[in-house]
Amino acid sequence: MFDLSGKVAVVTGAGSGIGAAIATLFARQRAHVVVLDVDEAAAKQIMAGIRDRGGRADAAGCNVADAFEVTRVFGRLDGTHGRIDILVNNAGIAHVGTLEQTSETDLDHLYEVNVKGVFLCARAAVPVMVRQGGGVILNMGSIASLVGVPDRFAYSMSKGAVLTMTMSIAIDYIKQGVRCNCICPARIHTPFVDKFVARHYPGREEEMLNQLSKYQPIGRMGTPEEVASLALYLCSDEASFVTGQAYPIDGGVLVG
C-alpha cells in the first residue's frame, strides 16, 4: 500500500520541517521527489539525505511568490521528467497579530507566499497533470482554515484562501483526473516553531512551547512525520476517491 513508484512528486518548502518530512517519506515510498525551497542550500541538503538512503531526488531553489521563478523551475521540471504526478504546496510563512496589529506590508507578504504561492505552483502543475491524464495536488492549510485562532488575523486570512482554492481546483479539474485536497494541522513542532519562539519570546521559550502544546486537547504538538503520513495517504492511489476535502490533523482541537 501507499506505493509511489514511477511518480514524480514536487514538494515546496521542503528544506525543513513538514516539507522535509513529506519529501523524505515520499522518497521512501519510491517516488522521485523534487525538493523545492527558497533556501536552495537547505533543499540540496534534504536531497542529499534522500539520495544517501537510496532514494531518488532533485533539488532547486524556488521562491513560490515569484511568477517568473515558478514558471522557470516548473518548466525545467517538465522538460526533465516529462510529468508531475504530485504537487505538495507546503511552502508558507506565519504571522502573529490581530487586525489592528497587522500592517499592510504584513498582509501583502502573507498573501504573496501563502496564497499567491499556491496559485502560481498549482497553475504551473495543472496543465502538465491534465496533459498526462491526472495528478494530485495537496495544499497545506491550517486549523485556522476552519476555526478562529486568536492573534492570527493575516495568517488565518491566507489559510482560509488555501481552503477555498483547494475546493475550486478540485471541482474545476475533477473530470480531467486531477484531485486536490488540503491538510489542516494544528500546532506542529518544527525547527521553525523553535526559532519563532526564541525570536519573539526570549527567555520564555519553555513557557511558550508549553502553551503551544496545551492548545491541543491531546496535550502536545504534532510532529512533521505525522503530517507526512497523512500527506502520503492523500497523495497515494489509495485515496483515489478523495478530492476537495480538508483533513484536520489537530490533536482534538475541533472536538475539545
Contact between 91 and 19 under an 8 Å Cβ cutoff? The reply is: yes
Residue of 155, 173, 215, 247 marked active site: 155
Residue 197 C-alpha cell reads as 519562539
Asked about 155 being catalytic, the answer comes back as: yes
DSSP 123-151: HHHHHHHHHHT-EEEEEE--GGGTS--TT
Q: Return the C-alpha torsion angle 178, 160, 14, 236, nearest 10.
A: -30
Quick check: 144 and 159 in contact, CB under 8 A? Answer: yes
Please, is 73 exposed, middle or buried when counting C-beta atoms within 10 Å of its C-beta (0-12, 13-18, 19+)? buried
Residues contacting residue 253 through CB under 8 Å, at least 6 positions apart: 143, 147, 186, 215, 216, 217
**Phi/psi at 245 (nearest 5 deg)?**
-115, 155
**Catalytic site positions:** 155
